[in-house]
Amino acid sequence: MLQKINLEPFGIRLYESKHNKGDRIENHHHEIYQLLYSLEGTGDIILNGKRHRFEQDHLTFITPFTSHAIISDKKLTVLVLAFDQRINDAQANAKLFQESLNETKFIGLNPFESSEIRQILRTMLYEQANKTKEQELALKIYLSHLLLLLARGEKKSEVSDANALRAERLKDYIDSHYYEWIHAEDLAARLGMSTRHMNTIFKESYQMTPIQYLTEVRTGLAKKMLAETDKDIASICFEVGFESISTFYRTFKNITSITPNKYRTNQKNYHL
């Protein structure tokens, strides 16, 4: 059964879908894309005849004309992000849909992905509620960011041990967010554990703490830029995530035993 959803004026709309205990939304489809994000509660979602458990922080990406149904066994609150083909107007988005987002999929998010996606959805709700002259542009930009996160999150892990999987996800997060302001307490909170326990499981896999690994990543990238580019040291410090030149110099020297300037000079002399 086709159900129409009004997406005017921009082709993007966020809204709440509430389901009481025992509610059943029968099989139906839409002419548009939908992202269903579970805010609370439990139930099942059926996609093209296949049943998936639908719980808090689970996400479903539904392509146009995909048959789907929802059955709630407790109160289930879902945030729906609906959008139409207009988002494909941008060349980059069109490529995402061709290569990564070309089919319906059920996604169980890890704590890091969930945190990022929740924040983007909150921001989009704010933009939708506040009608400014930049509203359409803002909604499209944040939606594009969200779609990029989903496309990048396709990587499948071969790790089965629960702690090793947590450590791998934490490492992946640091690898792709090293330039952000990262604290051990924040990382641990996202994983729902103490900082001490987080450090323990990460060291079991990588023989160092997450913050030590973050420092190695930043310093390794800085060394590469010092050796291969003419970028100013202040620019390199900023790009790899250090908040001050003094912290960068101190950290770099602790790891390499020389200053960034001396490292750059040595690399240039080595390649003469």
Percent of the chain with pLDDT over 70: 94
Over the stretch 173-190, which tens digit does the pLDDT of each residue have?
A: 999 899 999 999 999 988
Residue 157 has pLDDT above 60, yes or no: no
- Determine the average pLDDT of the residues in 11-35: 92
Domains, the chain: 12-152 (2.60.120.810), 159-272 (1.10.10.60)
More confidently predicted of 217 and 107: 217
Nearest C-alpha neighbor of 33 from the set 61, 70, 3, 1: 61
In sequence order, the β-bridge partners of residue 28 are: 68
Indicate the pLDDT class of residue 16, thresholds 50, 70 and 90: very high
* pLDDT tops 60 at residue 12: yes
Quick one: pLDDT at residue 2? 66
Q: Are 62 and 105 contacting, i.e. CB atoms less than 8 angstroms apart? A: no
Average pLDDT score, the chain: 89
pLDDT of residue 97: 80
Which pLDDT band, with edges at 50, 70 and 90, does 90 fall under? low
CA-closest candidate to residue 201, choices 171, 157, 156 = 171
pLDDT at 223: 95
pLDDT, residue 86, reads: 81
